[in-house]
A = this chain, B = another copy of it.
Amino acid sequence: MRQTHLLIPTLRDDPSDAETNSHRFMVRAGLIRQMAAGVYSYLPLGYRVLRNVERIIREEMDAAGATELLLPALHPSELWKESGRWDQYGDELMRLSDRQGRAFALGATHEEAITSLVRDEVKSYKKLPMTLYQLQTKFRDERRPRYGLLRGREFLMKDAYSFDATDEGLDRSYRSMYDAYSAIFNRCGIRYLAVEADSGSIGGTDTHEFVALSGIGEDTIAHCGECGYAANVELAQSVPPDAERTTAARADSGQPENPAAGPQLTDTPDVRTIAQLTAYLSIRPAQIIKSVALLVDGKPVVALVRGDRELNETKVKRLLEASSVTMMSEADIAAKLGSHPGYIGPVGLGPDVTIAADEQILSMTAAVVGANEPDRHLTGVAPGRDFRIDASGDLCTAVPGDLCPNCRKPLLLDKGIEVGHVFKLGTKYSEPMRATFLDDTGKPRPFQMGCYGIGVSRLLAAIAEQHHDEAGIVWPSSVAPFHVHLIVASSRDDTQTALAEKLYDELRRAGIDVLLDDRDERAGVKFADSDLLGIPIRVTVGKRAAEGVVECKRRRDSEAVQVETGNLTAYIRSLDV
C-alpha cells in the first residue's frame, strides 16, 4: 500500500497519558486512538496487526478441532440470572434496557450464551466432544481502564468453550486448548509462562494463566528456573528458606526464653505495627505472630502469619473453602473479637472465631502476639499450648528467596501480563442451567465444560511490550502489518521514485506485503516513522538508485546492507526476521 493516502498518524511526542511502552508506541505509531477511557479505535495499521493475530488464532484453533461461530453481544438478563451472575458480576457488567424496558447485559464473557445454545441444540453424547470458539468484542466496565489496550472496557477476545461427556474427555479438551494456546503465543513471538492460577469469578477448578513476562504486568508470577514450576503469586506455594532452621533461629534470637513460663503480659504503649514492635522489644519480625482479622463468607476469622511475611487472602479463601474474604472493620473487631486494631492476638478468642494459621508459626514456641487489649502484647506464647488452631496451611504470599515447592531451588518472582486463560469449569454452568445430554445408556447428564480465553487486544499490547526499542516497535514478522517498508529517500528525485515504483510492483508480484512511503517528506522524518512502525525489513531507495543499488536493513539491526535491485527479492526472502 501507499503511505500517501493511508491513515497512519504518527506522533513525535509521547502521549501524556501513556505510562507503558506498548501504549505510547502504539499511539505514536498511529496504530490506535482512544475514543473514551478504555475504548479504542484500531487504525488501519493497528487493524492489520490485529488481523494477523486473529489469523494465527483461527489457524491453531481450527487445527485443534474447534469450530468458529459468533454469539451476540446483547444478552437478555434472564440468561445471566440463570447462572446467578446477573447479581454476582457487579459494576463491571454493562447493562442497558431496550425500548420495552427489558434488561440486557453487554457480553463480558459468554458462558451463559454458549451453555444455553448447546443445551438447546445438542442432545446426545454422540455429538461430543465439541469445542466452539468465537472472536468477538467484549464489554467490561473496568474500574481503572489503563495502559492503552492492556486494560480496556471494550476489547477483542477469543473465547472458546468445550463440551464433553466425561471428566477424562474434559481433560483431553483442556490439554488440546492448552497446547493450541502455547502454539499461538509462540507464533506471536510472546515469551510467556503457563502458570497455575486462581479461577476468579468465572469459577471452576483446574486453571492455567498464560502470562507474558513484562515489567509492567499486573500479575506477579513465582516460577522456578530449574523444574518449570510456575504459579500466580496469589496461589504460589513456596518454602521459606529458613524452614529447616527454625530451632537454630530461635536459639539465635538473643532473647531470653522460658517455654515453661507461659504468656507474659507486656506493656507496649502506642506500639501497633510490626516495625514499632520489633524496635520496642528489640526482637526480629520472625519472632512475632501477626494476627489479621477477617470476615470470611461473613464469619469472623483470625489469620496468623509470621511477622516477616504477608498474609495471602486468596490462600485463606482456598484453605477455608470460602468464596469471599474481606478485612474486618474496627467496629467488628470490637464486637466480634472483643479486641482492638493493632493489638489483635489469638489467645483467649472465643469458639465462634476461626483461627487459621500459616504452617510457619506451628513451630514457634515463644512468640509475641497482640493481647486483645490496648497498649499490651503477650510474649512467650506457644501455638497449640496457649491458643487453639482451627485450620493451618500455607497462607503467605511467596517472596523472592523462597524456595520452589517441588525442587527447593530459589523461586524467581516476575511480573507479567495475562494474555490467555484456560479453565476447567466442570458442571459449574451446566448444572444450574440444566444443560444436559443423554449418555450412551439414555440417562441425562450435565455437560463437562471448559472455557478458554485469549485477550486479543491485550495480546497486541503484550507483543509491543516485549518487542520494542527506544525508537519504536519491532514487530515479529508473524504479526507485522507489512513485511517490507519501501522508502523513497527523496520523493522529488525522479530516478529514485521510478526505481521505487518498479521495486514496489516487483515485490508485490512476488507476494511480499509492502508499504511504500511515497510521501513528500524529508528522509529523516520517513526513517523516524519507519522505526516507530516497526516493519521487519526496510528497503531505502536513495542516492545509489541510478546504479540500481538500494539499502536493506532489518528493523532490529543497526547496520544496513547495500543490495543490487536484481537480487532484492531473493535477499529479502533469505533474511531471518
Contacts and interface: CB of A to CB of B under 8 A. Distances in A.
Interface string A40-53: 11111011001000
Nearest to A68: B47
A175 interface: no
A153 B74 contact: yes
A139 interface: yes
Nearest to A145: B98
A73 B138 CA distance: 10
A69 B98 contact: no
A520 B126 CA distance: 9
A35 B75 contact: yes
Contacts of A91: 99
B67 A42 contact: no
Contacts of A104: 36
A245 interface: no
A33 B122 CA distance: 13
B121 A33 contact: yes
Contacts of A41: 69-72, 113, 117
B94 A67 contact: no
Interface string A72-89: 111110010000000000
Interface string A560-571: 000000000000
Contacts of A95: 96
Nearest to A67: B44
A9 interface: yes
A141 B99 contact: yes
B73 A50 contact: no
B7 A67 contact: yes
Contacts of A116: 35
A536 interface: no
A149 to B, nearest CB: 12
Contact of A67 (B6, B67, B130, B154): B6
A68 to B, nearest CB: 6
Nearest to A50: B70
Interface string A156-186: 0000000000000000000000000000000
A214 interface: no
A163 to B, nearest CB: 10
A533 to B, nearest CB: 15
A116 B4 CA distance: 21
A121 B44 CA distance: 13
A120 B7 CA distance: 11
B98 A132 contact: no
Given A7-B121, A141-B99, A73 B36 contact: no
Interface string A1-43: 1001111010000000000000000000010010110011111
A240 B14 CA distance: 67
Contacts of A4: 126-127
A199 interface: no
B47 A69 contact: yes
B44 A5 contact: no
A11 B137 CA distance: 30
Given A7-B132, A113-B41, A128-B5, A35 B67 contact: no
A143 interface: yes
A91 to B, nearest CB: 4
A416 interface: no
Contacts of A72: 35-36, 39-41, 154
A129 interface: yes
Nearest to A153: B74
A47 B70 contact: yes
B47 A9 contact: no
Interface in A219-269: none
B74 A139 contact: yes
Given A76-B36, A126-B520, A127-B4, A44 B68 contact: yes
Interface string A256-285: 000000000000000000000000000000
Nearest to A71: B41
A98 B76 CA distance: 18
A99 B520 contact: no
A33 B127 CA distance: 18
Contacts of A67: 1, 6-7, 44
Nearest to A42: B70
A152 to B, nearest CB: 9
Interface in A487-528: 520
Contacts of A30: 121
Contacts of A96: 94-96, 106
Contacts of A79: 35
A96 B120 CA distance: 30
Nearest to A131: B5
A519 to B, nearest CB: 8
A415 B429 CA distance: 46
A116 B519 CA distance: 24
A5 B113 contact: no
21 contacts: A1-B67, A4-B126, A5-B128, A5-B130, A7-B67, A30-B121, A33-B117, A33-B120, A35-B72, A36-B72, A36-B102, A39-B74, A43-B69, A44-B67, A47-B68, A47-B69, A50-B70, A73-B154, A74-B153, A94-B98, A96-B106
Which A-B residue pairs are the 5 nearest by beta carbons?
A96-B96, A9-B121, A42-B70, A91-B99, A44-B67
